[in-house]
Structure 1
Amino acid sequence: MNGTPETTPPSFIPSGAPRRRSMPSQPAAEQPQSFQPRRHTPRRANTAAPTSPATDATVPPSFSPAGTARRAEPRSSSGSGNHTASPSAGSSVSRDDEFAAFQGAESEASWSSPRADHRSFADRQPFGTQRTRQFDRSPLRRPGRGHVRAVGPHHIRHRVLTVLAALIVVILVALIGLVNWINGQLTHKDMLSSMANTPAATWLILGSDERDGTAGTGTEQDVPGSRTDSILVLTRPKSGASSLISIPRDSYVTVDGQDMKINAVATMSGYGALVEQVESITGMKIDHVVQIGFGGVEKVVDAIGGVELCYDRTVNDANSGLVWEAGCHQADGGTALAFSRMRYSDPTGDIGRAARQRQVIAAVAKKASSPSVLTNPATVSKLMKAGLSSLTVDEKTGAFDLLSMALAFKAATGTKGVTGSVYYTNTDYYPKSGIGSTVLLNESKNTELFNQLEAGTHDPGTVGGQ
């Protein structure tokens, strides 16, 4: 003591107290030279230990209050080396000790300051403790139970694509099953010829009572066995209008030097010979042959709930069973069948009957492709069963060929299609062979007609006649 106040150690400086250098107790001249302040030495932050107004005793640095930078305890100088002025009289601190004290202060600040970048000691517990697991439950790292994760656009897109892929797989499986079922319902027969292929896709549509035993119309005893009462050629060119052309059943042809009507060729010489005769008339390769039993027409029309037909004459025909009042009417299956087979009460005979057959086909194609039918699974099922049960196809035709035929039917019977019959020169021609009245075809005009239909260059509309 002795009247000279002792300085408070730097570790006992209250937090926030202003720091200033203590006045020396002796004049600077009386102090040893080694203790003179070095004016060229810059002052370091927090290096001078302020005095405490509360006590003059020196307190060890380890007892410094929390939040105050800790410094190394001053050590006595040996009188040699570089030194800085001590804030307390009779003590000295070397520059090395001062720098060590500064490092200690920085380290303490990093542990005690609330603004430190490092985690607290509690957060430095080993990985796997309860506190660390709670920290890891952040929604950005690992969502816990009950946490709702935000769904971004890429998640929605991924889910939509997954659902679409699943639907495509289901549809493909269903289509494969449907195709296999259709192919299993078809009756195949060798009917195609060996003629070279031609550019357009062609179908020969034959109407016959061979499979269902439907009664013939009128006096049909001139043709033993089944009869091919309807012969139509459906053509779909690579570009241009599709066409549906009738060949009269009484058309005069010669097979192996024998005169006959074309409706008797299949019975007399086989379906291969009939296909060859059609190819001779059209000049085109027949790609597919589809034979429809007349009983199937009745079932198909009933399956779709009837079709609308128009005829401008009143008819009561005993041969076909058609009772009709002039005009347009909704026809059921039985009426539609009689409508397509009646010819004796028609002044144009077989030519008029062929026109009514095309009308029935067009009406069925229009109704079958309407939304009211396609959106009704029960109706579609009945339609398919009725149609497939009455079909006989060539050895190569399958489900996809039938689908293509249906689309070509719809195009040909629409406003942009070509319909009609072949050209002829005489509808009551009697050959010397005594086979009765026949239709004599115009070979040159038919060649020109089918050349245009095959190329797709014919204008839409009605063709044929004399």
Structure 2
Amino acid sequence: MRARREPSDKPPRGPRRLPSWKTISVIVAGVLVALLVAAVGMFFWIDSRLSGIDGVLDDYEGRVADTPGTNWLLVGSDSREGLTAAERKKLATGKAVGRRTDSMMLLHLPDGGDKPTLVSLPRDSAVTIPGKGRDKLNSAYAIGGGKLLVQTVETVTGVHIDNYMEIGFAGFVDIVDAVGGVEINVRAAVNDPKAGLKLKKGTQVLTGSQALGYVRTRKGGALPDFERTKRQRQFLGAVVKKAASPGVLINPFTSIPLAMSATDAVQVDSGTGVFNMLSLGLAMGDSPVTTVVPFGGNEVIPGGGTAVKWDRAKALVLFNALKEDKPVPKEILDAN
């Protein structure tokens, strides 16, 4: 016979009550505050890690007055600093000592709604270096570092430089690897043992070492230096786009290593901070108009050898558009 159940002392359970809107709003507010605190903390952490170069944008006699928009001078240095002998061998960077520019680009961010413009400045360009006479553009950096390079670029373009950033070989590789590689459409197969590079034609994801070889190689095309500057602009746009993608930024396993690699890799002028870097990233993610300084033929320089001679008339049209914060005329873009 079944035992009789005693009545429970507990009152019958009513329907389960859902959290009130007040409770939900408190929880949401708490989460938002926590995210805001984390974001602010991340901001100050990144800002404290940025390495500033003192004096690179100091005023000098005859400096170009401020021009509309914001102009960045982006410099890729061939410095081997931070690379071991084994890494130099693996990356095929060679053993050269000292620091020279491997690539230079002028990025113009307009004040209006036009797209940014990214202009390659061939490192072998024949220019007048203040106080040093006629020489190749990369000699300005070799002689006087970023400060003399800024002065030279301002002098020959008439464009005022507001921000300066440079990166060496080691930092370049680390940034690419931190974002898990960069997708690039390789337009022609490349086999360049000097750059440690062998790539098939087509779209593929490049590792840090492959990307370094890709932007350094002089193989391919009737004008190797011209093709090289095109690859550098192509790569820069691809790596910034990848770094700014939600999949990288939201994931702490990629965003934190990226922040560490980027702040270790780059050097900026002492006045450049996180907000400036953010504006740079947003501009590069906006698919900027890309071009190279119009040139044609060579020029014999006093020190010996030849340098790339700019088409002065077309170059003036290009740089006048930038310093007046206007779009570069289509005929100049089409010519390149």
TM-score (norm: length of structure 1)? 0.60
Are residues 302 and 336 of structure 1, via their aligned partners in 2, closer, same or farther at CA, if it must alter by over 3 Å?
same
Are residues 465 and 386 of structure 1, via their aligned partners in 2, closer, same or farther at CA, if it must alter by over 3 Å?
farther
Displacement after TM superposition at 1:400 (Å): 1.1
User: Which secondary structure state, in structure 2, belongs to the residue aligned with residue 232 of structure 1?
Assistant: strand
Please give the alpha-carbon distance, in whole angstroms, between the structure 2 residues aligned to 1:262 and 1:465. 22
Corresponding residue for residue 457 of structure 1: 327
Displacement after TM superposition at 1:159 (Å): 5.1
Corresponding residue for residue 326 of structure 1: 201
Task: Specify the code of the residue in structure 2 equivalent to 1:387.
Answer: A
Corresponding residue for residue 229 of structure 1: 102
Please give the alpha-carbon distance, in whole angstroms, between the structure 2 residues aligned to 1:179 and 1:299. 21
Aligned pairs for 1:249-328 (under 5 A) are 249-255=123-129, 256-328=131-203
Corresponding residue for residue 356 of structure 1: 231
RMSD after superposition: 3.1
Percent of pairs identical after alignment? 35
User: Which secondary structure state, in structure 2, belongs to the residue aligned with residue 338 of structure 1?
Assistant: helix
Q: Deviations over 1:239-284 (max 9, x none)?
A: 1111111100101122214332111212212321100111123322
User: Which secondary structure state, in structure 2, belongs to the residue aligned with residue 199 of structure 1?
Assistant: coil
Aligned pairs for 1:409-424 (under 5 A) are 409-411=284-286, 414=287, 417-424=288-295
Task: Specify the code of the residue in structure 2 equivalent to 1:247.
Answer: L
Aligned pairs for 1:28-39 (under 5 A) are none
Corresponding residue for residue 53 of structure 2: 189
Bigger strand fraction: 2
1:248 aligned to 2:122?
A: yes
Task: Specify the code of the residue in structure 2 equivalent to 1:440.
Answer: K
User: Which secondary structure state, in structure 1, belongs to the residue aligned with residue 292 of structure 2?
Assistant: strand
Corresponding residue for residue 3 of structure 2: none
Displacement after TM superposition at 1:162 (Å): 4.4
User: Which secondary structure state, in structure 2, belongs to the residue aligned with residue 420 of structure 1?
Assistant: strand
Displacement after TM superposition at 1:325 (Å): 2.3
Task: Specify the code of the residue in structure 2 equivalent to 1:288.
Answer: N
Are residues 461 and 238 of structure 1, via their aligned partners in 2, closer, same or farther at CA, if it must alter by over 3 Å?
farther
Aligned pairs for 1:375-394 (under 5 A) are 375-394=250-269
- Which residue of 235, 238, 243 maps to 2:111? 238
Corresponding residue for residue 200 of structure 1: 69
Task: Specify the code of the residue in structure 2 equivalent to 1:182.
Answer: I
Are residues 219 and 365 of structure 1, via their aligned partners in 2, closer, same or farther at CA, if it must alter by over 3 Å?
closer
Displacement after TM superposition at 1:406 (Å): 0.6
Please give the alpha-carbon distance, in whole angstroms, between the structure 2 residues aligned to 1:326 and 1:295. 26
User: Which secondary structure state, in structure 2, belongs to the residue aligned with residue 457 of structure 1?
Assistant: coil
Displacement after TM superposition at 1:459 (Å): 6.5
Aligned pairs for 1:128-139 (under 5 A) are none
Say which is worse superposed, 286-295 or 249-258, in terms of deviation. Answer: 249-258
Aligned residues: 309
Are residues 462 and 298 of structure 1, via their aligned partners in 2, closer, same or farther at CA, if it must alter by over 3 Å?
farther
User: Which secondary structure state, in structure 2, belongs to the residue aligned with residue 439 of structure 1?
Assistant: strand
- Which residue of 61, 78, 81 maps to 1:209? 78
Q: Tell whether the 8 Å contact from 2:72 to 2:162 is kept in structure 1 after alignment.
A: yes
Corresponding residue for residue 425 of structure 1: 296
Q: Tell whether the 8 Å contact from 2:165 to 2:269 is kept in structure 1 after alignment.
A: yes
User: Which secondary structure state, in structure 1, belongs to the residue aligned with residue 267 of structure 2?
Assistant: strand
Please give the alpha-carbon distance, in whole angstroms, between the structure 1 residues aligned to 2:159 and 2:332. 20
- Which residue of 177, 184, 190 maps to 2:41? 177
Q: Deviations over 1:131-185 (max 9, x none)?
A: xxxxxxxxxxxxxxx9x9x99xxx83x5565455444433332222112211221
Please give the alpha-carbon distance, in whole angstroms, between the structure 1 residues aligned to 2:237 and 2:330. 15
User: Which secondary structure state, in structure 1, belongs to the residue aligned with residue 174 of structure 2?
Assistant: helix
Task: Specify the code of the residue in structure 2 equivalent to 1:169.
Answer: V
Say which is worse superposed, 448-457 or 347-356, in terms of deviation. Answer: 448-457
Please give the alpha-carbon distance, in whole angstroms, between the structure 1 residues aligned to 2:174 and 2:143. 29
Please give the alpha-carbon distance, in whole angstroms, between the structure 1 residues aligned to 2:233 and 2:74. 11
Please give the alpha-carbon distance, in whole angstroms, between the structure 2 residues aligned to 1:375 and 1:218. 34
Q: Highest Rg: 1 or 2?
A: 1
Task: Specify the code of the residue in structure 2 equivalent to 1:425.
Answer: G
Corresponding residue for residue 4 of structure 2: none
Bigger helix fraction: 2
Q: Deviations over 1:347-384 (max 9, x none)?
A: 31211111111111111122222232223210111211
